[in-house]
Amino acid sequence: EVELLHAGVAALNEADAVDRDTAWTAKDTALHLVHQVRRSPGRDIAYNAFVSQQGQGLTDFATWSVLCTMHGPDWREWPADLQNPRSDAVAALRRTHSDEVDYYCWLQWVLDEQLRAVQDEARGSGMAVGLMQDLAVGVHPDGADAWGLQDVLAHGINVGAPPDAFNQQGQNWSQPPWRPDRLAETGYAAYRDLLRTVVRHAGGLRVDHIIGLFRLWWIPQGRPPTEGTYVRYDHEALVGILALEAVRAGAVLVGEDLGTVEPWVRDYLRDRGILGTSVLWFEYDEAGNPLHPEHWRELCLATVTTHDLPPTAGYLAGDHVRLRDTLGLLTRDVDEEMVLDTAERQAW
């Protein structure tokens, strides 16, 4: 088995393109072989402590991973009695497939140890922050979180953003939002567990769309982003828990506070020691002219661009206007849009 694995990996290394499916199959085979090796007593104690500490969230993720290998990646298409993580059928599967469930728990333990080792190395070498993790705005609707946290996520709803200058038709991110009522009723347990896990071995955390802790743009499934509405959250609870877990972990917080933001929100976050985000193309003075860097907000992560924006070279060439036109994403005539875009670039 090891020889076959070695031959397969050698072929992958010689290929011109990345064959991700074959690569994962090879990795999965190798990791199963390592998992079968008997652990020392000390390692076994450490592993069992990790599983106990991570609790239901880890067990649910490992169970979802096993079910994916059996029934495909979309849990909403599984047999009905397996779609509920608390069903008797799911509990029975954990017993009959305990070795596979343990395998996926073990993978998370290995990953956790590697993250801790990297962070220790980074801090030991003199880095003040070391690893900075990223907290996404939401979860994939087919994924483990959506399956395991059905009781606190809104069904039939997608998160997105209303129309703005960069996305004239709005945005639909195809992610189920937290239900504010269920979060409160459950003492924010799922949210607390999420934060505690993501900052466990990090010196910093970037919170994507941090204004979502105040309000989120809810879009009924099947409707365009223009027909969404804002739903408010208990920001004092959400921001308070975020700050608490960061302090416990000794991690700095950077909030991505871009987009349609109520002005007081940035002051609220700044007053609680949460850094902001400034992007070159969004910084204007009151007259609408490009803002000189010395007048930018302090205590911010400042960048030229982000993953949501066109590459700078493409932006300077106007490629993003032409591309959006071909995709039908403009609400103005392409020539009119190009004139406005050219004037903006000349101002910069």
pLDDT at 35: 97
State the Cα–Cα distance between residues 267 and 233, nearest whole angstrom.
17
Q: What integer best gives the mean pLDDT of the chain? A: 92
Confidence bin at 159 (pLDDT 50/70/90): very high
pLDDT over 90 at 125, yes or no:
yes
Residues 169-220 have pLDDT tens digits of 899 999 999 999 999 999 999 999 999 999 999 999 999 999 999 999 999 9
Share of the chain above pLDDT 70, in %: 97
* Confidence at residue 4, expressed as pLDDT on a 0 to 100 scale: 61
pLDDT bin (cut points 50, 70, 90) of residue 167 is confident
Between the two ends of the chain, the Cα-to-Cα distance in Å is: 60
d(CA 153, CA 160): 15
CA distance 186 to 182: 6
Q: Which residue has the higher pLDDT, 13 or 139?
A: 139
- Give the pLDDT confidence of 19-45 residue by residue, as tens digits: 898 888 889 989 999 999 999 999 999
Q: Is the pLDDT of residue 2 over 70?
A: no
pLDDT at 1 over 80: no
Average pLDDT over residues 6-30: 84
Max Cα distance, the chain (Å): 71
Q: Give the mean pLDDT of 108-115.
A: 97
Confidence of residue 315 (pLDDT cuts 50, 70, 90): confident
38-66 mean pLDDT: 97
Average pLDDT rounded to a whole number, residues 338-343: 84
What is the pLDDT, as a whole number, of residue 267? 94
pLDDT at residue 233 tops 90: yes
Structure tokens at 140: 């994939």
- Higher-confidence residue: 2 or 110? 110
Query: Is 290 in contact with 316 (CB distance < 8 Å)?
Result: no
The more confident residue out of 314 and 308 is 314
**What average pLDDT score do residues 301-329 get?**
86
> Of 78-92, 97-111, 129-143, 307-321, which gets the smallest average pLDDT?
307-321
Average pLDDT over residues 102-126: 98
Confidence (pLDDT) at 192 = 97
Alpha carbon distance 81, 86 (integer Å): 10
Strands 300-303 and 276-279: parallel
Q: Provide mean pLDDT across the span 101-125.
A: 98
For residue 293, pLDDT over 70 is answered with yes
Higher pLDDT among residues 249 and 3, named by residue: 249
- What is the pLDDT, as a whole number, of residue 3? 67
Give the 3-state DSSP-derived string for the chain, with helices as H, strands as E and coil as C. CHHHHHHHHHHHHHCCCCCHHHHHHHHHHHHHHHHCCCCCHHHHHHHHHHHHHHHHHHHHHHHHHHHHHHHCCCHHHCCHHHCCCCCHHHHHHHHHCHHHHHHHHHHHHHHHHHHHHHHHHHHHCCCCCCCEEEECCCCCCCCHHHHHCCCCECCCEEEEECCCCCCCCCEECCCCCECHHHHHHCCCHHHHHHHHHHCCCCCEEEECCHHHHCEEEEEECCCCHHHCEEEECCHHHHHHHHHHHHHHHCCEEEECCCCCCCHHHHHHHHHCCCEEEEEHHHCECCCCCECCHHHCCCCEEEECCCCCCCCHHHHHHCHHHHHHHHCCCCCCCHHHHHHHHHHHHHHC
Least confident of 42-51, 96-105, 170-179, 258-267: 258-267
Q: What is the pLDDT of residue 345?
A: 82
More confidently predicted of 309 and 251: 251
